[in-house]
């Protein structure tokens, strides 16, 4: 096994451990306001803990709802509420391996389709069953050793 492949497996394991977070959805009020209210903490109390104005807490809550809050602000808000801020990028469904497999299959289908077109022009087209098997074989090979441009859309 190559060092690159081993490193990729280690990174996949890290990402896969975070996968359960994919089931968590953003509350309508955002996490800052939701947790603050769950704690029974007023905006003014949170502001005092942070050493900022109440308006700043309101701005942060609004920025979070609009998707414009910084990670640094989220971290500070969480700590001021006695919580931990968790940040992750996780696959929508399943594991990282599934994302890689889907891309490999997409690439394999394009490669096999291109080859099939040329073969059909020469009246050497493969039957559908063999075409499907070839897509699976090429996808496995791509997953084993992804070539440069693996993630490009071409």
Q: Which residues of 51-66 are buried (b: 16+ CB within 10 A; e: fewer)?
A: ebeeeebeebbebbbe
pLDDT of amino acid 113: 84
Q: Which residue has the tokens 């490009």?
A: 152
Q: Assess contact for 98 and 105: CB atoms under 8 A.
A: no
What is the residue whose two structure tokens read 């075409």? Answer: 131
Task: Please report which confidence band the pLDDT of residue 2 belongs to, taking 50, 70 and 90 as the band edges.
Answer: confident
Q: 145: closest CA among 115, 89, 107?
A: 107
What mean pLDDT is reported for the chain? 90
pLDDT digits (tens, 9 = 90+) for 51-100: 999 999 999 999 999 999 999 999 999 999 999 999 988 888 778 999 99
Sorted by where each begins, the domain ranges of the chain are: 3-80, 96-144
pTM score of the predicted model: 0.74
Mean pLDDT of 4-25: 87
The confidence band for 119, taking pLDDT boundaries of 50, 70 and 90, is low
- Name the DSSP letter for residue 147: P
Say which range, 1-10, 43-52, 120-129, has the weakest mean pLDDT. Answer: 120-129
Task: Name the token pair of 6.
Answer: 């081993």
**What does each C-alpha distance from 10 to 87, 97, 105 come to in angstroms?**
19, 12, 22
In whole angstroms, give the CA distance from residue 64 to residue 104. 35
The CATH number given to 3-80 is: 1.10.260
């Amino acid at each position: 096994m190559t060092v690159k492949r081993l490193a990729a497996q280690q990174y996949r394991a890290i990402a896969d451990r975070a996968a359960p977070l994919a089931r968590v959805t953003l509350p309508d009020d955002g996490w800052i306001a939701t947790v603050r209210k769950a704690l029974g903490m007023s905006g003014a109390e949170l502001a005092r803990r942070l050493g900022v104005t109440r308006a700043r807490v309101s701005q942060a809550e609004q920025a979070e709802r609009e998707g414009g809050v910084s990670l640094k602000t989220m971290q500070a808000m969480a700590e001021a509420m006695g919580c931990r801020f968790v940040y992750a990028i996780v696959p929508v469904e399943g594991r990282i391996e599934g994302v890689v497999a889907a891309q490999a299959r997409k690439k394999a289908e394009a490669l096999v389709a291109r080859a099939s077109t040329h073969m059909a022009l020469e009246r050497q087209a493969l039957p559908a069953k063999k075409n499907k098997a070839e897509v699976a074989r090429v996808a496995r090979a791509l997953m084993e050793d992804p070539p440069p441009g693996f993630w490009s859309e071409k």
